[in-house]
Amino acid sequence: MTERIVILGAGQAGAQLADSLRREGCEAEIALVGEEEVTPYQRPPLSKTYLMDSFDEARLPLRPDAFYADRKIDLHLGCRADSIDRTGRTVALSDGQVLPYDTLVIATGTRVRMPPIPGIDGDRVYPLRSIADSRAIKAALAGASHVVVIGGGFIGLETASAACTMGKSVTVIEAMDRLMKRAVSAPVSAFFHDLHAEKGVDIVYDARVAGINPQGRSSEVELDDGRVFVADLVIVGAGVMPNQEIAAEAGLICSNGIDVDDYAATSDPDIYAIGDVSFHPNALTGRRLRLESVQNATDQARALAKTLTGTPTPYTAVPWFWSDQYDIKLQMAGLAEGFDTHVVRGDPGARSFSVFYFKDGCLIAADSINAPADHMAARRILGQAKPALTPEEAGDPAFDLKTRM
Ligand code: FAD
């Protein structure tokens, strides 16, 4: 019987797991270990509303402080897990404590990937992952006029939209030929290009940053073709990498994250991994993947809580994600990987439309722009064993998607 559960990483997945374990009636000792000093909090606002003056910081914690004490969840904050002894079944913490476990869960998330650019470790260059990062960016933005964002993915574009809304001049430097290319199709990229361009954001494509050079009170971001952009601050949004070292050093199988099965179990049956750090099987794509989303972190944690309390529950949820840029909400359901047909529903000109993606005639994903009803319908339809929606139906705005739910 599991008497001691230790969770490494007090972020979205770790906090959800501790909560869900108690909801499922788990009576084991639960320790939640987090490197950051603060009560577990939500990250999505950090690249969005938090950067603007109006955001109330009290809204960030996922649960109130008292929640953990009330449920006898032993919080170890400001404390890093340094190593795992799988034979003795203990974890060594940075404050010198050694925690014994019967079940260990690794939920250590990801960290910002800092491209190997000369000068990227300079004073005016900011990664964005934590509340500390976001506070530093917010402070720097206050006195800035020119902002350069490296990376035209979700985080880069959200910070660009916040900075632009605050009246800054913003340049986004993107290595690929369109925005958010890893995640969305060309029509969606084109819509967001037009949106940012209309607001005055300068987007530079196919660009390689060769160096970031301090020049007095600002920096010069230099591309390998010689172009130079002056910045009071540089925000790096060039992707993330999984915090898997503690697992790899303990001999667990890791590739792009910690390899787990459908039940979040690693190659050691007493150790599980969830959230951004888990490299898990995905039925929609037929391969393992790592997802970086609130949905993935919470749903994987909820499924694992059931498994650990005696109801083995595979993680099969339909992935979904959102991004806010200006007054536009992008909502994504499913994974568009390998689609052979896509249809647009609604009118991009009216700033409310969806793109539905099909593979071999079967719906696999949908991206919705200011179209929440389409998004909710797509999620429900994708949850079916064999979604019945056809491309013709999806593309016909008069067709009621609810009839396929
Ligand atoms: P995290 O929440 O990152 O938590 C991991 C925790 O583990 C961290 O606190 C870390 O410090 C700690 N840790 C790491 N190593 C150790 C160690 N050795 N010992 C102890 N603690 C350790 N998702 C969406 O769906 N929609 C959005 O709009 C969205 N916006 C985002 C905006 C920003 C700025 C960021 C950074 C992320 C955003 N995400 C969004 C992604 C979402 O927040 C993550 O997918 C989610 O937080 C993952 O949860 P997690 O618990 O796996 O990792």
pLDDT in tens, 280-327: 999 888 899 999 999 999 999 999 999 999 999 999 999 999 999 999
Distance between Cα 292 and ligand 1 center (Å): 8
Kindly give the number of the ligand 1 atom that is closest to the alpha carbon of 321: 25
State pLDDT tens for residues 230-270: 999 999 999 999 999 999 999 999 999 999 999 999 999 99
Give nearest CA residue, ligand 1 atom 45.
293
Q: Is residue 53 pLDDT above 90, yes or no? A: no
Q: Is the CB of 394 under 6 A from ligand 1?
A: no
Kindly give the number of the ligand 1 atom that is closest to the alpha carbon of 47: 34
Q: Is the CB of 159 under 6 A from ligand 1?
A: no
Q: CB of 366 within 8 A of CB of 357?
A: yes
Q: Where are the alpha helices (DSSP H) in 57-153?
A: 65-70, 131-142
Q: Is the CB of 35 under 6 A from ligand 1?
A: yes
> What is the DSSP code (8-state) at residue 40?
P
Distance between Cα 277 and ligand 1 center (Å): 9
| Band of pLDDT at residue 54, cut at 50, 70 and 90 | confident
Across 120-129, average pLDDT = 96
Please, which residues have CB within 8 angstroms of residue 69's CB and are 6 or more apart in sequence?
Answer: none
Query: Would you state the pLDDT for residue 386?
Result: 84
Across 347-364, average pLDDT = 95
| Band of pLDDT at residue 1, cut at 50, 70 and 90 | low
Q: Is the CB of 43 under 6 A from ligand 1?
A: yes
SS3 content of the chain, % helix, strand, coil (to 5): 30, 30, 40
At 305, the amino acid letter reads A
Q: Where are the alpha helices (DSSP H) in 200-254?
A: 245-249
Query: Would you state the pLDDT for residue 405?
Result: 86
Kindly give the number of the ligand 1 atom that is closest to the alpha carbon of 295: 25
Distance between Cα 132 and ligand 1 center (Å): 13
Distance between Cα 11 and ligand 1 center (Å): 6
Kindly give the number of the ligand 1 atom that is closest to the alpha carbon of 109: 53
Q: CB of 178 within 8 A of CB of 186?
A: yes
Complete edge-to-edge strand list for the sheet that includes strand 29-34? 73-77, 29-34, 4-8, 103-106, 271-273
Number of other residues whose CB lies within 10 A of the CB of residue 99: 20
Q: CB of 89 within 8 A of CB of 101?
A: yes
* C-alpha distances in Å from residue 7, one per residue of 1, 31, 72, 167, 390: 17, 6, 14, 42, 43
Across 139-244, the runs of DSSP E, i.e. the strands, are: 146-150, 169-173, 202-204, 209-215, 218-223, 228-231, 233-236, 240-242
CA–CA distance, 271 with 111 (Å, rounded to integer) = 21
Q: Is residue 178 pLDDT above 90, yes or no? A: yes
Q: Is the CB of 244 under 6 A from ligand 1?
A: no
Q: Is the CB of 329 under 6 A from ligand 1?
A: no
| Band of pLDDT at residue 77, cut at 50, 70 and 90 | very high
Across 346-374, average pLDDT = 96
Closest CA to 224 of 263, 173, 185, 181: 173
Give nearest CA residue, ligand 1 atom 32.
44
Kindly give the number of the ligand 1 atom that is closest to the alpha carbon of 134: 34
**Pocket probe mutation, ligand 1, options 106, 294, 302, max atoms within 8 Å of Cβ:** 294
**Pocket probe mutation, ligand 1, options 17, 43, 97, max atoms within 8 Å of Cβ:** 43
Q: CB of 60 within 8 A of CB of 41?
A: yes
Q: Is residue 91 pLDDT above 60, yes or no? A: yes
Q: CB of 259 within 8 A of CB of 267?
A: yes
Kindly give the number of the ligand 1 atom that is closest to the alpha carbon of 296: 45
Distance between Cα 321 and ligand 1 center (Å): 14
Kindly give the number of the ligand 1 atom that is closest to the alpha carbon of 278: 52
Kindly give the number of the ligand 1 atom that is closest to the alpha carbon of 81: 19
Rounded to the nearest integer, the mean pLDDT of the chain is 96
Element (H, E) at 6: strand 4-8
pTM above 0.75, yes or no: yes
Number of other residues whose CB lies within 10 A of the CB of residue 188: 25
**Pocket probe mutation, ligand 1, options 7, 8, 12, max atoms within 8 Å of Cβ:** 12
Distance between Cα 293 and ligand 1 center (Å): 8
| C-alpha dihedral sign at 124, 129, 130, 135 | positive
Query: Would you state the pLDDT for residue 67?
Result: 97
Please, which residues have CB within 8 angstroms of residue 11's CB and are 6 or more apart in sequence?
Answer: 34, 40, 43, 107, 109, 275, 297
Pairing between strand 90-93 and 98-100? antiparallel
Q: What percent of the chain has pLDDT over 70?
A: 100
Kindly give the number of the ligand 1 atom that is closest to the alpha carbon of 110: 3
| C-alpha dihedral sign at 388, 390, 395, 398 | negative
